[in-house]
């Protein structure tokens, strides 16, 4: 409860829109979701995040980290919890501006813990409702000394590019508690692609029957606050902002960060899908049929169901 009240004071106009949008999104069951035209796209995004998370955990462990601590910045309803569980991490801090989502994330974590086998040690967790583009997150940590091996910011960072102060605060929260050699990983829309498509369009928007991106003007694009609306079958429809990547990379240097890798989803896919383990994970995540697992039969279906549910965001 002490986690929720400061957020209210800190939420700005845009922050309020984001929070109330994500707060009012309904939790829908697997059946409804599987009928959605965006089901496969969501699964693809989840596959991509799973591979990214898995590989970064390998790198962190390869560098000698044993008890891995993670900050999930903009955790939403906890769609990545299962990925972190599979990765065998020790601790996670989940932060999001939308209080309802943070509550759902906590509930999902508690369910996960409750249903786990007694011989599996599930990571410890802290949940924080916070506008991470306005508030210094480290001041809210239960353990004031905590340092992270990884900060993961999935489909979130673009909301902060409303202003330099917000983008910088988000970056500060992502990086200031990283251990030396730690990683900041994330996914965000490609501003070049968005502008390219806008410029090619004869109106102020582009898209298809599934998604639509609309700008208020074109021709010039401010470094911060370059707003557009993104809608995906009505699922996400709050203003977002272009992230000019060279500027982002430059800003990150302030926090002693250097760019290790930047890839478009298509490039990432083409590279990773060549590996057998990544390809078979994709088959599992995309397929609607029960998939084989060690215990076989019904167990497989249950696992799949749980998998899809927990992976949803
Ligand atoms: N990372 C999650 C995932 O991949 O499933 C959720 C992604 S969702 C597209 C974007 C999330 O960013 C929402 O949960 C939203 O509330 C959160 N968000 C947006 N602005 C934020 C801010 N300033 N501080 C914290 N969270 C924010």
DSSP 27-75: P--HHHHHHSTTHHHHHHHHHHHHHHHHHHHHHHHHTT--S-EEEEET-
pLDDT band at residue 2 under the 50/70/90 scheme: very low
CA of 103 to the centre of ligand 1 (A): 14
Name residue, tokens 């609607």: 288
Residue 153 CA: which ligand 1 atom is closest? 1
Structure tokens at 126: 């802290």
Residue 72 CA: which ligand 1 atom is closest? 1
User: Closest Cα partner for 26 from 104, 125, 140?
Assistant: 104
pLDDT band at residue 290 under the 50/70/90 scheme: very low
For 104-123, the pLDDT digits (tens) are: 999 999 999 999 999 999 99
Q: Which pLDDT does position 303 carry in this prediction?
A: 35
Report d(CA 282, CA 51) in Å as an integer. Answer: 10
Q: Where are the beta strands (DSSP E) in the chain?
A: 69-73, 91-96, 124-129, 148-154, 178-187, 205-207, 211-215, 227-232, 239-241
Check if 239 has its Cβ closer than 6 Å to any atom of ligand 1.
no
CA of 199 to the centre of ligand 1 (A): 28
* Length, in residues, of the chain: 313
pLDDT band at residue 12 under the 50/70/90 scheme: low
Kindly give the pairing relationship between strand 69-73 and strand 178-187: unpaired
Cα separation values, 274 from 46, 68, 281, 282, 292, Å: 18, 28, 12, 11, 21
CA of 261 to the centre of ligand 1 (A): 22
Q: Give bridge partners of residue 17 from the DSSP assignment.
A: none
3-state DSSP call for residue 149?
Answer: strand
Residue whose CB lies within 8 A of the most ligand 1 atoms, among 76, 78, 153, 312, for a mutation test: 76
Please state the separation of Cα 87 from the chain's center in Å. 16
Report d(CA 71, CA 98) in Å as an integer. Answer: 16
Q: Give bridge partners of residue 154 from the DSSP assignment.
A: 187
pLDDT at position 7 over 80: no
User: Closest Cα partner for 148 from 129, 175, 109, 119?
Assistant: 175
Q: Measuring from atom 7 of ligand 1, which residue has the nearest CA?
A: 155
Q: Which pLDDT does position 36 carry in this prediction?
A: 65
For 161-184, the pLDDT digits (tens) are: 999 999 999 999 999 999 999 999
Torsion of CA 18, 23, 24, 26, to 10 degrees: 120
Residue whose CB lies within 8 A of the most ligand 1 atoms, among 25, 156, 160, for a mutation test: 156
CA of 286 to the centre of ligand 1 (A): 24
Structure tokens at 268: 């990432």
- Weakest mean pLDDT among 96-100, 122-126, 145-149, 286-290: 286-290
CA of 97 to the centre of ligand 1 (A): 7
User: Closest Cα partner for 187 from 281, 64, 72, 308?
Assistant: 72
pLDDT at position 26 over 80: no
This prediction has a pTM of: 0.85
Summarize the confidence of residues 270-296 as an average pLDDT.
Answer: 72
Residue 74 CA: which ligand 1 atom is closest? 26
pLDDT at position 265 over 50: yes
Name residue, tokens 């035209």: 37
Q: Measuring from atom 20 of ligand 1, which residue has the nearest CA?
A: 159
Per-position b or e across 131-140, b if 16+ CB within 10 A of its CB: bbbbbebbeb
């Amino acid at each position: 409860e002490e986690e929720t009240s400061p957020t209210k004071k800190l939420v700005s106009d845009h922050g309020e829109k984001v929070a109330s949008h994500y707060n009012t999104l309904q939790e829908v069951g697997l059946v409804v979701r599987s009928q959605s035209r965006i089901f496969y796209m969501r699964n693809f995004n989840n596959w991509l995040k799973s591979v990214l998370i898995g590989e970064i955990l390998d790198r962190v462990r390869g560098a000698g980290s044993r008890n891995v601590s993670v900050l999930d910045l903009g955790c939403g309803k906890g769609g990545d919890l299962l990925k972190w569980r599979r990765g065998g991490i020790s601790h996670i801090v989940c932060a999001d501006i939308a209080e309802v989502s943070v509550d759902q994330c906590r509930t999902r974590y508690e369910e996960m813990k409750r249903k786990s086998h007694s011989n599996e040690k599930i990571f410890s967790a802290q949940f924080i409702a916070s506008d991470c583009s306005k508030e210094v997150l480290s001041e809210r940590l239960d353990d004031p000394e905590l340092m992270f091996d990884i900060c993961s910011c999935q489909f979130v960072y673009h909301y902060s590019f409303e202003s330099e102060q917000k983008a910088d605060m988000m970056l500060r929260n992502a990086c200031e508690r990283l251990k030396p050699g730690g990683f900041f990983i994330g996914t965000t829309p490609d501003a070049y692609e968005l502008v390219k498509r806008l410029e090619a369009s004869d109106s102020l928007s582009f898209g298809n029957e599934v998604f639509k991106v609309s700008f208020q003007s074109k021709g010039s694009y401010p470094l911060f606050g370059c707003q557009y609306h993104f809608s995906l079958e009505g699922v996400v429809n709050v203003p977002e902002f272009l992230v000019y990547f060279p500027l982002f990379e430059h800003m990150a240097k302030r926090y002693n960060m250097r760019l290790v890798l930047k890839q478009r989803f298509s490039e990432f896919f083409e590279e990773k899908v060549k590996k057998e383990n990544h390809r078979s994970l994709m088959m599992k995540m995309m397929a609607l049929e029960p998939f084989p697992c060690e215990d076989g039969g019904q167990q497989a279906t249950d696992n799949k169901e749980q998998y899809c549910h927990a992976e949803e965001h």
